[in-house]
Homo-oligomer: A and B are copies of this chain.
Amino acid sequence: SSIGSESDDEDASRLNTRDHVQRNSRGFADFRVKRISQHQFGRREIDLVEQEMGGLMTLRKKAAADQPLAGARILVCIHINAQTAVFIETLAQLGATLRCCSCNIYSTQNEATEADIPIFAWRGESDEDFWWCIEQCIETESWSANLILDDGGDATNRMSKQFPALFRQLRGIVEESIPGVHRLYQMCSREPGAPSLLPCPAINLCDSVVKPRFDTYYMAREGIIDGLKRTTDVMLAGKTVCVCGYGYVGKGCSQALRQMGCIVFVTEVDPVCALQACMAGFPVVKLDDIIKKVDILVTCTGNKNVVTMRHFERMKSGCILCNMGHSNTEIDMSALQDKRLTWERVRSTVDHIIFPDGRRIILLAEGRLINMSCISFSSMVVSVTSCTEDVYLLPKKMASLHLPTLGAQLTELNDDQARYLGVNKAGPFKPHNYKY
């Protein structure tokens, strides 16, 4: 995909996207995207990824006639790209009306912004643009959201603060991210007697059976390689890497990097995760003890200030620093604003930070998620998690929608075996709390 080309950057300086009303071939103008002329190119992208998303396409076929989402008016605030476009279009085909904006100022894939649905998103929004776009999706003269599909909690937060009356009429919130879920829990005041501030049921997608594995482990495993390659072209074999954090993201990153020939070290806080790292053959070290020999440093702790000036000062020149965890807290970005340091942008998501002694740190995506800002979602993962996210309607069985795409042949229990196991022949086959 044509990501971060200079020409985009040039255009961005010439015109203000927010003020630039465009119109598609059918005369529709209720959107703001970079360049509607790219749409046809984006359409081909979307066709391409539909082939990957077997689960969603099956769902469209099965449920489109029933219009199960008729009446749903959804404020969608997620990453906007060809993969999520297929998801968005599926929601529309199932009967919902939607208004869409991006949950991240860097992650929008400009050419994938489908123009018959109101979308307000472009790569490189300013902070002010970001909130403006969200507000375009909360209400218009003729439409107001009764559901939120959020990734990070910003849309939910904005609506609760600025549109309290609308917020109280919400019918449901679906939240994708752990920090977003955390915010929702804070709304349900846990002080005895205090009323909840949450006006409606909220679904925590992180509780989905397959989410941690599919949307984090597999994603991280492919994303870390792709992200590092596209931004830096670094040869991975032989590089010394430190992966901070050995949760699902850390597990995926560590395994993928080792398989590419990296020498991988891990840091951990939690003893069970640390034990898992050991049992997988990764030395568990303290960052301070290893920092001087690290070529690539990857954070995925979900924590803040994991890498600080104490570490920056001891890094090798040319050390690549990137974040696969959440938001941009893991690397102490404020410390890098130090006046002694010179920033030089070498690619759209790559900065050299030059120290007085000439050493350079190569910072990716300004400490934000590299798999969001640099690469697009993997279609398969989006399809798997989209299908299995809504745990109330479409539980684990949805996983089986993807097996034909992968050519897998499920074995079936016979009556005797089902009886022996004490399960139904059609499943579920495991107790509810089984850890896949």
Contacts and interface: CB of A to CB of B under 8 A. Distances in A.
Interface size range of chain A in the complex: 35 or more
B272 A409 contact: no
A213 B276 contact: yes
Contacts of A350: 48
A429 B273 CA distance: 10
Contacts of A284: 403, 406, 408-410
B346 A271 contact: no
A281 B305 contact: no
B235 A305 contact: no
A344 B235 CA distance: 33
A59 interface: no
A411 B311 CA distance: 14
Contacts of A338: none
A395 B284 CA distance: 21
Given A275-B408, A284-B406, A293-B407, 17 more contacts: A2-B5, A48-B350, A218-B279, A222-B260, A234-B378, A235-B381, A238-B279, A240-B406, A263-B278, A267-B411, A268-B411, A269-B411, A275-B399, A275-B403, A277-B408, A283-B408, A435-B435
Interface of A: 1-2, 4-8, 38, 41, 44-45, 47-49, 51-52, 82-83, 182, 209-210, 212-214, 218, 221-222, 225-226, 229-230, 232-240, 255-256, 258-264, 267-287, 289, 293, 302-306, 317-318, 329, 344, 346-348, 350, 352, 360, 362, 375-376, 378-381, 384, 396-397, 399-400, 402-403, 406-413, 416-417, 420-422, 427-430, 433, 435-436
